[in-house]
Structure 1
Amino acid sequence: MWKNVVIVFIIFFTHSFCAKVDFPGRAVLDNFPLIDGHNDLPWNIFLNAKNHLEKCKIEADLTKDELFGSKNCVSCVTDLPRLKKGKLGAQFWAAYVDCTKSKDPVLDTLEQIDVIKRMVRKYPNDLKFTTTADGILEAFKEKKIASLIGVEGGHSIDNHLSVLRAFYDLGVRYLTLTHTCNLDWADSSLVDDPKSTHKKGNLNDFGKKIVLEMNRLGMLVDLSHVSKNIMWDVLNVTRSPIIFSHSSAKAIYSHSRNVDDDVLLKVKLNGGIVMVNFFSQFISRGNATIKDVTDHINHIADIAGIDHVGIGSDFDGVPSYPKGLEDTSKYPDLFDLLREQNKTKWTVENLEKLAGRNFIRVFKTNEKIRDDLTKEEPVENP
């Protein structure tokens, strides 16, 4: 009898003690990599230094840099000291070219892929180029920031599936189907703007071929920037989980770049992920703060489920950031705030899902489907 009483006491004491144990949300970032779906530093290197890396010394704090300091570049908030302080574990660097200005989008995109690879090569002690889910985890163990490439905008393949395949061979692991330009095969989110007069279209047969070929390759289909019609069409066609690399919740702030609740429910069925954007003008009507970002994260977690939300900051790609999330050193504050807001909801397990476990699951599922489709022939252009 006394033995049973002692056992009950130990169980009660242990439970009571553990219930009182608390931890800051940022603590999880030491145990699992924080994966950011979108950063535009390569575009700023192009704009400010014409891709000459010697002019962009990201090993230093660039706050007061002549070219990349906040005084001369309001969107420039990324460098290695701030990334380390921000406990970032993996970054998708965007290979982006302006669809309204580029005369040769394929060549220009190759230049951006090249500058990303050269940047990673320049800092081997801090960055590690990878193309796989396991590669992200390996880099984290080595205390390096896993560096991956996403091409932002389907205009970059110039209607050639051969270019899509070549990009994959170069290490590109997602394609954002559109940017701000409408394409022959898919519309941009701008058509959903209340002021738009553009007739809304659907994903055409060539667009469907692109999605299916991305599935075959194992390239992630990114639906940030596309219209709602295209979101639905892709979700009905794709064989693999999709991503929104940098989008937020439309129910929290009604902007055409954000995702409606009915689409969030479809993302849940698809097994995909919405990686929340930090751009002030996408998350709040004005005076955006870090809390606005947590509102978007919590809403997506509530509607799509905790397994379908992640982080896609859009750092270095937009002109304003929320108070409290001004640069790449601030990620830990976001995780602290979520933990403070709801300790029951934001457990270690769920914070790790938000940080990167959800994305790793989506990435690995795409890789598995790719492996299952090895006997399928490449899709040909029409």
Structure 2
Amino acid sequence: MTSTAASISAASAAAVVEAALKLSSVIDGHNDWAWECRDTRDYSVEGLEAGLSTDTDIARLRTGRVVGQFWSVYVNDKLAGAEAVQGTLEQIDWVHRLAGRYPDTFMLARSAADIEEARANGLIASLLGAEGAHCLNDSPAVLRVLARLGVRYLTLTHVHNTSWADSATDAAEHDGLTARGVDYVRELNRLGMLVDLSHVSPATMHAALDTTDSPVIFSHSSCSALHDHPRNVPDDVLRRLAANGGVLMVTFVPQFLSADYAAWAEGAMTGPAPRVTISDVANHVEHARRVAGIRHIGLGGDFDGTEEFPIGLEGVDGYPGLLTELALRGWTAEELAALAGQNVLRVVRETDARFAAPTSSTPILVR
């Protein structure tokens, strides 16, 4: 266990967490429930209240104190062309139908004001994030349509490179971004859509940070310094978040948290899986805080996006447990509130004006 301050008692930690959640409930950067419901439920939005085999259901979201969720409108990048565009639209439709089916639980959200309204009314703000620019079929027009439908961020790549950006998990082709990739980042800025740098290579991270005039996010990544996984973020990138204003949303995927677990998962998987716990997640959170600063960290669980999660964080009801672990390490209520939701809420607010009126300027890319 690492520590930012002297540890405190369990009772005091619980009080700190409650105080933090009064200041800011959880706003999570990435959840793949829509894709899970495509895979296992034929996109049904019925019966989602409780007792599901998924990492997410309504009861667990309430227990987890989630007030804002970026639902990933993801399609596997084995889908290409018009099929990828169609799949993304189906994902968006699922989130819209989810909110329509459960109006006492979910509210579609496009802005910081929407998130605050949802919280005031006891609802879960439902935002959209598109994972992987393959979903655009290299069409800026599709990007603009997604913005009109309420998509607030675009992850520049997924597992594989696009024609204009390098992925973290593919052989480099572009040394980061091509000239067209630079223009896509500028178009995202113009639209008020957040540039999401999870899944991209370090060269792409730096190229995007060199280009963007708005804060970036990492919707679900962890720290290379603790585990040098290609999906994690190096310290030289983390250090740039202070000047950029962006946020690393630490993820809970065991392969990104633990070298031992990654070796097991990527090998023969013989014997029991190495233990990964809330403490491992807290270590990544604390490292990101030390390098990037308290204003530049958040949470992006990736629930329903992988098979296993750390002990104590098996579903969306686990966020208070993580906050408790950090409180036991000496985090204050104000610091926990910044991590839980205030930081990413600030980033959304800073880009709201452009997102509300993107037609006030000329597109960077037309075709």
Task: Provide the TM-score with structure 1 as the length reference.
Answer: 0.86
- Structural mapping, 1:208-357, within 5 Å: 208-285=182-259, 286=261, 287-342=275-330, 346-357=331-342
Q: C-alpha separation between the residues in 2 aligned to 1:241 and 1:291? A: 29
Q: Aligned letter for 1:336?
A: T
Task: Specify which structure has the bigger relative contact order, considering alpha-carbon pairs within 8 angstroms and separated by 6 or more residues.
Answer: 2
Q: C-alpha separation between the residues in 1 aligned to 2:278 and 2:341? A: 19
CA gap of 1:127–1:370, structure 2 versus 1, over 3 A, is closer
1:304-353: CA deviation from partner (whole Å, max 9, x where unpaired): 000000000000001110111111111101001100012xxx21211110
1:41-68: CA deviation from partner (whole Å, max 9, x where unpaired): 00001001221333xx211221xxxxxx
Q: Say if 2:166 and 2:173, in contact at 8 Å, map to a contact too.
A: no
1:212-262: CA deviation from partner (whole Å, max 9, x where unpaired): 111111111100000111000000000100000000111011101000000
Q: C-alpha separation between the residues in 2 aligned to 1:207 and 1:198? A: 14
Q: Say if 1:274 and 1:309, in contact at 8 Å, map to a contact too.
A: yes
The aligned counterpart of 1:44 is: 36
Q: C-alpha separation between the residues in 1 aligned to 2:50 and 2:87? A: 28
Task: Provide the TM-score with structure 2 as the length reference.
Answer: 0.89
CA gap of 1:86–1:351, structure 2 versus 1, over 3 A, is same
The aligned counterpart of 1:83 is: 61
The aligned counterpart of 1:65 is: none
Match of 1:379 among 334, 355, 364: 364
Match of 1:35 among 23, 27, 30: 27
Cα root mean square deviation, aligned:
1.7
Match of 1:186 among 162, 165, 168: 165
Match of 2:141 among 153, 156, 162: 162
CA gap of 1:374–1:49, structure 2 versus 1, over 3 A, is closer
The aligned counterpart of 1:95 is: 73
- Structural mapping, 1:101-180, within 5 Å: 101-102=79-80, 104-180=83-159
1:366 aligns with 2:366: no
1:249-298: CA deviation from partner (whole Å, max 9, x where unpaired): 11011101000000001122111000000001110123211000000000
Identity of aligned pairs, percent? 42
Q: C-alpha separation between the residues in 2 aligned to 1:135 and 1:375? A: 22
1:115-172: CA deviation from partner (whole Å, max 9, x where unpaired): 1110111100011111001111110111111111101110001111110000010011
Max radius of gyration: which structure?
A: 1
Q: C-alpha separation between the residues in 2 aligned to 1:321 and 1:244? A: 19
Q: C-alpha separation between the residues in 2 aligned to 1:283 and 1:83? A: 23
Q: C-alpha separation between the residues in 2 aligned to 1:98 and 1:335? A: 32
